[in-house]
Every structure is written in C-alpha cells, then in structure tokens.
Structure 1
Amino acid sequence: MKNDDKLIYSSPVEGVEVLSCSSGREFKSHLHDGYVLWLNSESGEKYSLRGSSDILQPGSISIIEPETVHSNKPCCTERRHLRSFYFSEKFVRSLNLKFLGNESGFSPFRNNLLENKQLWRNLSGLHHKLLSPVEKLETDEAILSVLSGLYRHAGDRTILPGSEDKRVAIVIDYLHAHIDQNLSLAKLADLAGCTEFHLIRIFRSHKGMTPHSFLIQLRLEKARALIAANSSIADTAALCGFADQSHLTRLFKNRYGLTPRQYQKACARF
C-alpha cells in the first residue's frame, strides 16, 4: 500500500506487514502488538531499547518482541532507508510450528541482534518482493524460504529479556482488559499493591514509559487493527478509549505517519 515516496506500507499476507521508510522522521517511544524485524541499507539507525541505546548498522538485523518499548531515528536523514517487517504473534506461532514442530519452543523471535550478511541480503530481497505485486504462491514461498534461514542462523547473540516485576505484569493485563475505560492511577496502584508514585517508577523502569503512555500505545495498536479490518473511524475511537475521532486521528498520524482514513484506504488495496 503505497502512500508517498518516503513512507510505504504493504500487507502481503495475513499476519505480516511491511514498512519502507526513507523519510527523516523520528519514531519516538512506542510499542507494537506483534514482533518487529528491521534492517536498514543506507546509514545507521539510532535506537533505544530497554533503557540502552545503540546504532543499528547496515548489514545488521534487529528483532523486537511485542510490547517492548523502543524508539529510533536516522543517523543521516538524507540517506535513510529503514526496512521493517511486522509479524503478528499468531503468525510467529505458525512459523514455530512449521520450523520447530511446536508453537512455543525457542525461536529467533526474541529481542535479538543478528549479524549475518547473507541472511541480511535475503531479508532485504524479501522486503523488496513484498512491496511488489507478485502472485500469492510466490509470496508464500519467498516468506517461508527466507524465514527458514532466520531460524537456522538466529540465536548466536540472543539478548534475553530481563525479568519483569510481577506488579507491572498485573497492571499491563488490566490495561489490556480495560483498554476503553477512563482508568485512574490510584486503581492501578491498588492492583499492584504499591503507592502511585512507586508504580510510575517501577513501570517506567521496566517498560520505558508511564502506565498512561503505555496505555495510549496499546490503544493505537488496537485501533490500527480495527481500522485495517474496515471498522469506522468513529467506532474505533470509542472502542479504543479515545476521547473522540479527532483525538484518535491526531495521535494515529503522529504515531504511524498516516491518518486513520489514509491507512484504511491503503489496507483496502490488499
């Protein structure tokens, strides 16, 4: 789904989205409800993940788990080409079943930084193919062929996620279950069994943002899925807990670079 020359989305198969970004826009702290695999081919990409910062160099591959807060921006805005794959959790479970024989075994889809030039070239080629109009059979074969290589080569430099405070997990579960409601910090702190101030501190320590900022990211990801499924913008705003349609539109455009209407029209082409 092409939007302009600098920001291109595609949804080639269910559970997979592809982004090509050659603009200089900064992606501030955010999260995804699925897995991210990203690489770049023009210059380095500055990123922050789990409280540490680094530069993703051309030729390197990064994988980020669902709901992991991160941010990124180009080292050189004039020479940027960021290539991203977004895989739903259901899609990754299906890959685990195909390649590992079970859905929950160890797979490369962890917070990973991989260095493998051939795999990088294969992923880059796959990314280009998924942005092109090709037959479904060719698409399906290319995805399995390239991602099987990811399973073969991943794991050498696994970055295991840190242990998460159970209080944070309890609050996140509650945010998911009450995403459309006007929640209070006092209620969340009560669930976590700590003071409001302490909840903000431990939540920021583990997730990189406050509970409210995290909730907004969850709402945006849910809104994106509903909009892609052709839900009306007004209904989506209500279902996801936004004040109104304009509130959703403003935050959606800031997060994804497109208005909800533009994103919906692009999705309808696939």
Structure 2
Amino acid sequence: MKNDHKLIYSSPKEGLEVLSCSSGREFKSHLHDGYVLWLNSESGEKYSLKGCTGILQPGSISIIEPETIHSNSPCCTEHRHLRSFYFSEEFVRSLNLKLLGSENAPSPFRNNLLENRKLWLSLSNLHHKLLNTAHKLETDESILSVLSGLYKNIDERDYIPGSEDKRVDMVIDYLHANIDGNLSLAELADLAGCTEFHLIRIFRSHKGLPPHSFLIQLRLEKARRLLAANSNIADTAIQCGFSDQSHLTRLFKNRYGLTPRQYQKSI
C-alpha cells in the first residue's frame, strides 16, 4: 500500500482493489475491466457516464459495470475524499454464488445510483478497514457482511437485456483477442461488415470512445493486472501492445496517477 494519503491503491484480497483519493486529480474518460463501486465522503464528485452527467453527493453510492466509459472530477479540489472499490468479474461471480446461490443470478452490480445512508456508512467503514487491516479472517468477514447489504437493493424488474449493437460486441471481442496487435480500422470495419466511418460512429455511440481510444484503455487495464502480479515493466509494455516502456509509463501515469513502478510498490 502506498503511504501517500492523497492517492492510495491497495489490494487486500484477490479480485478486489481499493483506491483512496483526496487529491484534486481529474479522472478523464476511462474504463475498468471489472466493476466499480465508488462513493465520496467530502464535497461532491462531478461525473459523466454513458452520455449522462451528474454529481455524486456524499451519502450516494455509484456502481459502474465493466468497460463502461466514464469520467469524474471533484467539485471542490480542497475538500475531496473519493473512495473506490474495484471488483473483478470473477470476484462478483463468487460473491453471487456465496450470497445468492448462483453465479449468474441477478445481482446489484449494474450501472446504478443508490441512495442508502446506512449502506453508505457501512461501505465507508469497510473501505477504511481494507486500507488498514491485514487479518485475512477479519477482512473476509467484513467484505461479505457489508456487501451483502447491496443485495437487498436488487429489483429484478430493472434487469433489461442490453441493446448494444452486436457489431460493437464483435469488435470488442476481437480487440481483447488481439490486444497487443497493430490493428487497422479497415480490419475492424471488415469484421463488423460496415464502413470505417460507420464503425467509428456506432462504436462511439455505444461505448463513448472510438475504437483506438477504447483499445488503449483495455491495454492499460491489462498492464495494471500484470504489474500487480509483479511483471517486469518493459515486458508488460510489449505484452500489452505499447511501443516501449516509456510509452506505457506516460499513459499509465496519466490514467492512474502513478507510474508503473510506483503502482507496483503500492500494491
């Protein structure tokens, strides 16, 4: 864990990472390869999500699904404490199994905004504990106890199948499979069966970014996972499709607020 109270990353359990941010840093349009649950305990947080903008006030809880483009920044840079939980998809499936009896049962981990003061306080306390507690048993018990409170907010009527263009899904699958490749727009458009211009338009409409910018976000998330596993930085850059270590370092710091080396020391 990085002992800089302005920007702290910690990974207390496999599949779970937490961020504490009290700096004025703006998080420009980006994605996560897992689920995000975030709240703030000082001031408000301006955000943009899937074309909608708003302010996350203290007392509110926001959940963001994997690979959903979003951005956020503090309403007041002098008074900010953003508390984020990052859950891998495997972690959420395991949680669903433990709490609902099925990995695929409808769960509260959907794009959502919750107003529940009691749950907000429990999550704030859990976040603090995960940054400061090293005991595995206490950590496991706290996670299950607090996150079970999320499941009381499930309303299966809210679970409507997505309407995203299947061509976009096909291209995203291809980007995942060729994340380190030197892909061309023509190649992706041919895969989707449309013109290059039309692909950019439908991709941006559904994901909030054009294909190349989206691919960069996927590469950064893969790099973050590899670095957390103590992968060599230069090797990570190549495996993730960056031209060299300096290219990775520049984009990584811009995205996460730390260089790859600083991030590895913080985990």
Tell me if TM exceeds 0.5.
yes
Contact 1:112 / 1:158 at 8 angstroms: preserved in 2? no
Contact conserved, 1:179 with 1:219, CA < 8 A, in 2? yes
CA distance in 2, matches of 1:68, 1:161: 16
1:106-255 alignment to 2 at 5 Å? Answer: 106-155=106-155, 158=158, 162-255=162-255
Deviation at 1:27, TM superposition (A): 0.3
How much has 1:246 moved relative to structure 2? 0.3
Matched residue, 2:103: 103
Q: Distance in 1 between matches of 2:53 and 2:109?
A: 20
Tell me how far 1:9 sits from its aligned partner: 1.0
- Residue 198 of structure 1 deviates from its aligned partner by 0.6
Letter in 1 for 2:239: L
Secondary structure, counterpart of 1:79 in structure 2 = coil
In structure 2, what is the Cα distance between the partners aligned to 1:150 and 1:122?
Answer: 10
Shift of 1:195: 0.6
Counterpart in the other structure of 1:260: 260
Structure 1 residue 2: deviation in Å? Answer: 1.8
1:34 correspondence with 2:34: yes
The answer on 1:2 being equivalent to 2:34 is no
For 1:8, give the aligned amino acid: I
148-157 or 69-78, which deviates more: 148-157
Runs of 4+ in 1 over 6 A off after TM superposition: none
Q: Deviations over 1:25-84 (max 9, x none)?
A: 110000000000000011111111111111111100000000000000011111111000
- Name the stretch that deviates more: 148-157 or 191-200: 148-157
Matched residue SS, 1:92: helix
Structure-1 residue corresponding to 2:62? 62
CA RMSD of aligned residues (A): 1.4
Supply the distance in 2 between the matched residues of 1:135 and 1:240 (Cα, whole angstroms): 34
Contact 1:99 1:148 in 2 (8 A): yes
Aligned length: 267
What is the TM-score of this pair, normalised by structure 1?
A: 0.96
Instruction: Report the secondary structure of 1:194's partner residue.
Output: coil
Does the 8 A contact of 1:181 with 1:241 survive in 2?
Answer: yes
Is the contact between residue 44 and residue 55 of structure 1 (CA under 8 Å) also seen in structure 2? yes
- Secondary structure of the corresponding residue to residue 179 of structure 1: coil
Deviation (angstroms), 1:163: 1.2
Distance 1:63 1:189, change over 3 A: same
2:73 aligns with 73
Q: Structure 2: give runs of 5+ residues left out of the alignment.
A: none
Change (3 A) 1:154 1:68: same
Percent identity (aligned): 82
Q: What corresponds to 2:89 in structure 1?
A: 89
Helix, strand or coil at the partner of 1:241: coil
TM-score computed with the length of structure 2 as normaliser: 0.97
> Is the contact made by 1:59 and 1:117 (CA closer than 8 Å) also made in structure 2?
yes
Aligned residue in 1 for 2:21: 21
